[in-house]
Amino acid sequence: MHRNDSFQRRLIRYPIAIAVIVILLITIITVFGYISGAPWVGMVEYTYNDAGSVTSIDGYKTFWDWLSLLIVPLVLAIGGSLLVVFVTHELDARRDRTAWSMRIAEDYLHRFEEHGRVKKYLLASETGISSSQELNIRAWGNWLEFVALLCNREMADIRLVQDLGIDRFIIEFYDDAKDLTIFKMTWKDDWQNIVKFVQIQEGNNE
């Protein structure tokens, strides 16, 4: 997915780079035409025939004559390229979001019973828990941190997370564990996205 994001960023840069180069060329040619008075640039006055029709200098097309023919196709080409890149990026982002959401749902089915067990471990942690119980707590916290990270970065469907009740699990885990001695440093080092997720949800509920 990271490789795909990098590829998308390069695709977005190409039309923009082409547009910048074209604008620079037009600017340079325009300035050159004013300074040098070169007839092919078309910056000098047109001449008129007896019928009053405009004729190009020396009878050939000037730079501005060609530019008037190219400007619309050029704008359409650049605009079309940007639109294709934007739509492709949005479709890829939606596909990635669906894939991550499906992974969360699959993991949730295997971890459903862990919430109640970990909650009991947290309540007993201040009086003493085994190392295996602490590992279970940390494993559950790490999974919730992973889900919170995807939600915070809009890489997963927050509605699915809410429908499954995982948002409630994250908030309850934070409320139960944040003041416990063995986890006070963990929030700063390992579970920052849980804290951010809770803050966002609390802000949305205000």
Would you list the domain boundaries of the chain?
A: 2-93, 112-205
Residue type, 31: V
Distance CA(152)–CA(145), nearest Å, equals: 10
User: Alpha carbon of 62 to those of 26, 37, 71: distances in Å?
Assistant: 13, 12, 14
* % of the chain with per-residue pLDDT over 70: 67
Closest alpha carbon to 32 in 46, 42, 17, 18: 42
**Average pLDDT of 69-80?**
73
pLDDT of residue 92: 82
Q: What residue has token string 């089915």?
A: 109
pLDDT tens by residue, 100-123: 888 888 888 777 778 788 888 877
Closest alpha carbon to 89 in 196, 15, 197: 15
**Average pLDDT of 131-150?**
87
Segment among 33-37, 133-137, 157-161 with least mean pLDDT: 33-37
For 77, what's the count of Cα atoms within 13 Å in the CB-facing half-sphere?
Answer: 10
pLDDT of residue 3: 46
Mean pLDDT score across all residues of the chain: 75
Closest alpha carbon to 9 in 96, 85, 76, 94: 85
pLDDT(144) > 50: yes
pLDDT of residue 39: 58
**Helix ranges restricted to H, 112-130:** 114-124
pLDDT(1) > 50: no
pLDDT tens by residue, 151-200: 898 888 888 888 888 898 899 888 888 777 767 666 667 788 888 998 88
3-state secondary structure of 154: coil
3-state secondary structure of 155: coil
pLDDT(13) > 70: no
pLDDT(5) > 60: no
- Of residues 100 and 23, which shows the higher confidence score? 100
3-state secondary structure of 54: strand
pLDDT(48) > 80: no
pLDDT of residue 159: 86
Q: What residue has token string 């000037």?
A: 62
Q: How many Å from the N-terminal Cα to the C-terminal Cα in the chain?
A: 35
Distance CA(94)–CA(99), nearest Å, equals: 9
Tokens representing residue 204 in the block? 């949305």
Tell me the sheet residues that pair with 48: 54
Residues 118, 139 contacting (CB under 8 angstroms) = no
